[in-house]
Amino acid sequence: MDNGIHKRLLSCDQVENTSDDLKVRVYEESSKIWRIALPGVLSRVTSFGSIVATQSFIGHVTEIDLAAYALVQTLIVRFVNGILLGMSSATETLCGQAYGAGQYHMLGIYLQRSWIVDLVTLTIFIPYYFFATPFFKLLGEEESIAEASGYISLWFIPFVYSVVFSTTIQMYLQAQQKNMIIAWLSIAQFVIHIPLSWLLVYKFEFGVSGAMSALSISSWFVVIGEFVYIFGGWCPNTWRGFTMDAFKDIFPVVKLSISSGLMLCLELWYYAILVLLAGYMKNAAVAISAFSISINVYAWLFMISLGLLGGVCVRVANELGKGDAKATIFSIKVAIGNSVVIGLIFFVVCLVFGNKIGYLFSNEKEVVDAVSDLSILLAFSVLLNSIYPVLSGVSVGAGLQSTVAVINLVCFYLIGIPIGALLGYVANLQVKGIWVGMIFGVVAETLALCYMTWRTNWDNEVAKSKNRLKRFFLNSEDSNQPLQLA
C-alpha cells in the first residue's frame, strides 16, 4: 500500500513538474514572439492609423471626397501596396533565416536587393495613379466620385514611395530584433500626423490637399528616421554600406518575391474587390463609404495580427535557420494561442462599441447607420482574423508563399467573392451580403492553412532552409565590395 501511494505521489509530482515546465516554455516563447511582434504591432497600428485618420479628416470635408478617398485607398493604393508588401516578404524570409544561421552580413545585401526590386516594381505601376479617373469610369463608378478620385490618387504617389523603404527596413530590423526603433518612429509619426492634419485641413482650410500633404510628410518622417538609424552605425554587423553584391543573384530573389507578392496581393485585393462591388449598390456613395469605413476599422485591428505575423515569421525563420524543427512547431502553437486571445478581446470591443464607430468618420446619418448595421459582422470578422494571419506568417518564415498564393486564390476568389456577389445582388442583402461572403472566404482560408500547417513536414523545411541559405550565401570578405558611384 505504502509503495503504491509513493508511486502515485511521484507520478503527481512528475505531472506537476511537466505542467510547470510547459508554462515556463510557453512564457519564454511568448516573450520571444512579443519582443519581435510588439514593435511591429505598434508600428503597423500607428502607420495604418495615419491612413484611417486621413480618411476621417477627408470624411468631414464632403461625402463625395470620402467615397473617392475610399476607392483610391482601397483599390489602387491597396492593389499596389499589396504587390510591394508581398514582394518585400521575400526579404522577411531571407533575413530571418540568415540571421538564425549567423550569416549577419547577408541581411544588408538582402535589404538592398529588396529596394531595387520594389522600386522598379512600383515605378511600373505608377500610371495607375495618373489614370485613376478613367480607370474608375471604365469600372462604372459614379462620375462625380471618379473625378474626385483622380485628384486624390496623385497625392498618394509620395506616400507609396515611402512604403517601399519603410516596409523593407522594418523586415530587415525585426529579423535581428532591432525594430523597437520603428515602433518609436511610427508613434512619433502618428503624434505628428493628427495635429498637422488638423492644422492644414481646418486652420489653413486646404481641405483634401491639406489632409493628403500631412499623410505624405508624416510617412517620410519615419523613412528618414530609419535611414539615420541604419546609416548612423546602429546596425554594424548587418549593414556594411552599399555594395554591388546587391545586384548578384537578383533573379532568384525576384522569383521568390513574385510568389510572396502573389500571396499577399491575392489577400489584400480580395477586400479591394469587395469595396468595388459595394460601389454598384443603390446609393453608391453611402455604400462605398460605410463599407470602406468598416473595412478600414477591420484592417486597423488586423494590423495587430500582422504584427504577430511578423513575430511568428521571424521565430519560424530563425528556428529553421538553426535547424530545430521541434522548436518551430512549438513557436507556431504559442503564436496561435496568443492571437486567439487578442481576437476574443477585440470581438467583445466591436460588439460593445460598433454602433458608435461611424461618427468618427462622417456626420452623415445614412453612413453612420450603415456602419452600425455592419458592426456584428465586423466583430466576427475580427475574431476569425486572429488565426489565419499567424499561419500566413508561418508560411512566410518557411518560404511557402507560392502554396499560400494558391490557397488565397481558391478561398477568396472562388468562394468568398462569388458568395458575396450572390448574397449582395441576387439575395438583395446589399453590403451585408458582400461582407458575409468575405467571412466565408476567411473561414475557408483559415481551415486550409490549418490543414497545410498540420501536414507540413518541418524536418524537410529545415533541409530546404539550409539549401536556400547556401544558394544565396556570400563570404563576408567578398560581400564587402563597395558600390562605386559615378
Q: Which residue is listed with cell 502618428?
A: 190
Cβ contacts of residue 90 below 8 Å, gap of 6+? 114, 253, 256, 257, 260, 401
C-alpha to C-alpha distance for 215 and 200, rounded to whole angstroms:
11
State whether residue 410 is helix, strand or coil.
helix
User: What is the Cβ-side half-sphere exposure of residue 271, based on CA atoms within 13 angstroms?
Assistant: 26
On the 0-12 / 13-18 / 19+ scale of CB atoms within 10 A, 439 is middle
Residue of 162, 160, 182 whose CA lies nearest to 171: 182
Q: Print pLDDT tens along the chain (486 aa).
A: 455 555 554 455 554 555 667 888 888 888 888 887 888 788 878 887 888 889 888 877 777 888 888 888 877 887 788 778 777 767 777 787 788 778 888 888 889 988 988 898 899 999 989 999 998 888 777 888 889 899 999 999 999 999 999 988 988 988 887 878 888 998 999 999 999 999 999 888 898 999 999 999 999 999 999 999 999 989 898 998 888 877 877 776 676 667 666 666 666 667 667 666 666 666 666 776 777 777 777 777 777 777 777 778 778 877 777 777 788 888 888 888 888 888 888 888 888 876 777 777 767 777 778 778 777 888 888 888 778 878 877 776 666 767 777 888 888 888 988 898 888 888 888 778 888 888 898 899 889 888 888 887 878 877 777 676 666 556 555 444 444 333
> Is-contact 321 97, C-beta < 8 A?
yes
C-alpha to C-alpha distance for 278 and 276, rounded to whole angstroms:
5
DSSP code string of 338-396: HHHHHHHHHHHHHHHHGGGGGGGT---HHHHHHHHHTHHHHHHHHHHTTTHHHHHHHHH
DSSP code string of 249-277: THHHHHHHHHHHHHHHHHHHHHHHHHHHH
Q: What are phi and psi of 482, to 5 degrees?
A: -75, 155
243, β-bridge pairs = 482
> Is-contact 418 437, C-beta < 8 A?
yes
Identify the pLDDT of residue 133.
92
482, β-bridge pairs = 243
On the 0-12 / 13-18 / 19+ scale of CB atoms within 10 A, 22 is exposed
C-alpha to C-alpha distance for 471 and 473, rounded to whole angstroms:
6
Identity (one letter) of the amino acid at 278?
Answer: A
User: To which H or E segment does residue 245 belong?
Assistant: none
> Is-contact 441 382, C-beta < 8 A?
no
